[in-house]
């Protein structure tokens, strides 16, 4: 016998299930961790394979990635590329951030004074929208960012409530990355950051000391394995915390690669220097996604080249995409003045069927 009440209840149950499924598919993280693995080459990850780098391969299997991303088009050194990551700008040109030095800033030097204009950052966007921010760095020269965005040099907050001028709530330096990670984990357990950046120096240090030697048991490969272990610690942090599990995304990339023969990475037209990995993992991110296949209209695999900014073909995925990807994942507007991923069009999930 037909029962209208039961039928209506069934319809409502199905609709509720569909709504819940759609909500899960549109899940948005509340926390984004940007991890820079200084000097990490993607072919080193491939050499280790899933057995030797299980956590980097977890990023690949459970998230979206490419092993053919690019540094800045003109610089393959640390501070210029990290400045691109947080500002969403290339180095050179009228719209570039203009920071070309790779040493510790001298007294009176910071980003805005060098540019002669304020450089907005992902830290600023997150902070001004009420999120806590942090930078955990393993090189002293990263004080550049704390100086540039402190309570004196940071721009006034004009977005809703006034959260102050200091855009980086916590700045922590430790040149040893194992205690750096531990202190980050303790801090995240205490008060989870909305947007945070971690810099891990070990691959770069090993490369400069012994060369980017991609062979079993070399100092460089041991450093890559160490970075993998530290990313595993971050996975554990997320999984054991009710505040973070299912609510946290990670963006993992590098500032440059490096060469065995020279033990350097300064030659900006050398593919081993400008070819880097780019991984995205977290709620709403396509599992096993290829970033170039997910972005056929807005990004193009560059092959072995590093195209200049403004080329006629779509740009490659760059480490400079990271800042506006982080703000996009958090549901925040793009970084003002940015030119890389300024439309927040780097997609990390496939569009729904029929779209």
Residue 246 C-alpha from the chain's centroid? 18
Bridge partners of 37?
200
Span 1-22, pLDDT tens digits: 434 444 344 444 444 444 344 3
pLDDT for the residue numbered 13: 45
Span 202-256, pLDDT tens digits: 999 999 999 999 999 999 999 999 999 999 999 999 999 999 999 999 999 999 9
pLDDT category of residue 355 using cuts at 50, 70 and 90:
low
Nearest to 38 by CA among 214, 234, 207, 287: 207
Q: Hey, what are 197's tokens? A: 């950046």
Where do the domains of the chain lie, and which CATH numbers do they carry?
A: 29-329 (3.40.720.10)
Nearest to 258 by CA among 44, 4, 24: 44
């Amino acid at each position: 016998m037909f029962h209208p009440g039961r039928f209506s209840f069934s319809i409502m149950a199905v609709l509720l299930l569909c709504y819940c499924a759609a909500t899960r598919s549109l899940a948005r993280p509340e926390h984004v961790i940007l991890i820079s693995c200084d000097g990490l080459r993607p072919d080193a990850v491939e050499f280790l394979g899933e057995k030797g780098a299980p956590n980097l391969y977890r990023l690949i299997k459970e998230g979206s990635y490419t092993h053919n991303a690019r540094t800045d088009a003109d610089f393959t050194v640390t501070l210029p590329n990290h400045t691109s990551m947080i500002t969403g700008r290339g180095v050179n040109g009228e719209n570039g951030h203009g920071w070309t030095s790779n040493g510790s800033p001298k007294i009176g030097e910071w980003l805005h004074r060098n540019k002669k204009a304020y450089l907005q950052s992902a830290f600023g966007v997150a902070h001004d929208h009420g999120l806590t921010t942090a930078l955990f760095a393993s090189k002293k020269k990263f004080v550049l960012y704390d100086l540039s965005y402190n309570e004196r040099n940071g721009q006034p907050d004009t977005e809703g409530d006034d959260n102050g001028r200091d855009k980086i709530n916590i700045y922590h330096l430790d040149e040893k990355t194992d205690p750096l990670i531990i202190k980050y984990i303790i801090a995240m357990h205490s008060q989870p950051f909305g947007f945070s950046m971690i810099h891990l120096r070990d691959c770069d240090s090993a490369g400069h000391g012994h060369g980017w030697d991609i062979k079993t048991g070399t100092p460089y490969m041991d450093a890559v394995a160490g970075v993998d272990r530290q990313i595993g610690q971050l996975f554990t942090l997320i999984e054991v915390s009710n505040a973070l599990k299912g609510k946290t995304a990670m963006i993992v990339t590098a500032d440059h690669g490096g060469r065995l023969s020279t033990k350097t990475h300064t030659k900006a037209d050398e593919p081993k220097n400008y070819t880097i990995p780019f991984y995205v993992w977290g709620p709403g991110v396509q599992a096993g996604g290829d970033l170039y296949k997910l972005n056929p209209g807005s990004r193009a695999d560059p092959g072995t080249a590093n195209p200049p900014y403004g080329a006629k073909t779509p740009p490659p995925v760059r480490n400079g995409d990271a800042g506006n990807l982080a703000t996009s994942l958090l549901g925040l507007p793009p970084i003002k003045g940015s030119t890389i991923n300024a439309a927040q069009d780097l997609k990390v999930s496939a569009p729904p069927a029929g779209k």
